[in-house]
Chain A
Amino acid sequence: MSREPLLPALLFWAALALLPLAAPSWLTGQLAQHLCYGLLAMSLAYLWGQGGLLSFCQALFFGVGAYAYALVGLGKLPLLPASPLLGLGLALLLPTLLALALGLLLVTARVPTGPAWAVLTLVLGVIGERLAVASPFLGGSNGLAGLPPLALPLPGGAFELLDPVPTFLVLLGVTAAVQLGLALKIASPAGSLLRAVREDALRAAHLGIDPVAVRLRAFALAAALAGLGGGLFAAQFGFVAPPLLGLGLSTEALVWVAVGGRGSPLAALAGALLVKTVEGLLGEWLGAGWPLALGLLLLLVVLLFPQGVFGGLLARLARPVRP
């Protein structure tokens, strides 16, 4: 999809903003956490749907963002003061730099962007998780706990995000800004170039486009957004652990995106919220049997909605009316 329709997005955000009025505060808190997963899902939809780069290591950047927030928040990094906002800044920066380095490595090794690329990203994710488990500095398999919450610098003093409703509203603002920003990016000339490279890198090169540079930029942007999601997740959860970097979460993110629709970051975000909510409900109803039921549901969704549950709908809304 080259244009994200604006109206459904605005309606979606307006409806979510009103939710704390009706929902119990535990649900609002849970949704705030799911919005962090939503950022991860949007980053993957941009990379996979728009850029054609299937990544099995998107959680690596989410996790690096979470650990960056934790290390700064706990004052474990030399020269940096223990500041949650600075932590969030590093949660954006570190995954971006990591993505550029890994991307250059994959490009220099001339890894084609097909199955080989996907398998290598999978390996990178596993390595990241193992490194975190093996590192005493990162707290090993126990991770790091006792992280400070995010604090907004307001005129009357810092406002700590501890209660579910303000946390949810801040998360909503950040996620909505990212979604609308991505929609603009997708509709811009840079978005067209990324889709051109996805369609046919060689043909794009013959038009004067540097496919490697275009892909690297997309990889880095997606990593930055995943890292932001990870940083915000750590701020809310107060705890980080190696599974945040690992293959399990990366695969979950792929499922959210496939269910929602990879062609649109908004659809992917809605997919993440849907799957996480259904997961919770199935857990309540079915007890230990919920993964099996969820698996069957996912299978049905992928068979019935190849463009995703929300992706097909949005594509229909975005399609120009033919004369």
Chain B
Amino acid sequence: MPAPLLELRHLVKSFGGVLAVAGASLELGEGELLALIGPNGCGKTTLFNLVTGIERPEAGAIRFAGREIGGLPPQARARLGIGRTFQVPGVLAALSARENLEVAATAAGRPRREVEEALERAGLATFAERAAGELPHGLQQRLELAMVLLQRPRLLLLDEPTAGLELGESLAVAARLRTLVAREGVAALVVEHDLAFVRALGAEVAVMLRGRIAARGPYARVAADPEVRAAYLGSRG
């Protein structure tokens, strides 16, 4: 069996004595799609921050493509192929949509023509000269994803990609994401609260509870897990 693309082993991170991530372990294969769910404060975003290098773990190991990356800064991890979107879209607000994409293309060493292609593909061509911070939330999310895709990531970490979207829009995002993973062979880890979206994603689900991965499997099986029902799904139906 090939080594997983991302391998997290017993990660620990605390803030002011409170354990945010308490021995979490997770594996993700090349081209695999996995939804990560869990109640607020269970450590999902901190787990992302550990993988992308915003936070350093107190214990445990982070391996990406067979290499220990726990000591690398965020930019080195990005260059290895880890792309990430944020809960609040991480666009560069004062720069135009086009310049946002130009920055991403320059950073990734992509030619300028890919900027035009990305604008078209993301449906942003008519907004190219608008300041990114002035765009509606949904367009900012699309711009952010287009920027990340210019990096040609091997692993995508998406932090609540449907936050602030209507049901129809979020189902469309799920469809686009499935296509992306199938077409480009990108692995994706998606943090999400919206269970309709998670079901539409049709992917495996991992549940994070109190800083650990408590269960993993197909949605139906995870949803039936008594611990998960008690801690999370039970209250959300």
Contacts and interface: CB of A to CB of B under 8 A. Distances in A.
Interface of A: 2, 189, 192-193, 195-196, 199-200, 202-211, 320, 322
Interface residues of B, number: 29
Given A206-B52, A208-B75, A209-B75, A200 B90 contact: yes
Contacts of A203: 86, 90-92
Contacts, number: 75
A91 B74 CA distance: 36
B106 A192 contact: yes
Interface of B: 52-54, 73-75, 78-79, 83-84, 86, 90-96, 99, 102-104, 106-108, 129, 147-148, 151
Contacts of A205: 53, 73-75, 78
A204 B95 CA distance: 13
A204 B99 contact: no
Contacts of B92: 195-196, 199-200, 203-204
A156 B94 CA distance: 53
Given A196-B103, A207-B147, 15 more contacts: A192-B99, A192-B103, A196-B107, A199-B93, A200-B92, A203-B90, A203-B91, A205-B73, A205-B78, A206-B52, A206-B90, A207-B108, A208-B78, A208-B151, A322-B129
- Main secondary structure, interface of A, reads helix
B79 A206 contact: no
A199 B131 CA distance: 12
Given A207-B78, A207-B147, A208-B75, A199 B95 contact: yes
Given A199-B94, A320-B129, A207 B103 contact: yes
A202 B99 contact: no
B156 to A, nearest CB: 12
A80 B207 CA distance: 70
Q: Which of B53, B83, B84, B103 has the most CB of A within 10 A?
A: B103
Contacts of B147: 207
Contact of A2 (B99, B106, B148): B99
Contacts of A322: 129
Contacts of A193: 103, 106-107
Given A196-B95, A208-B75, A208-B79, A189 B102 contact: yes
Contact of B104 (A195, A207, A210): A207
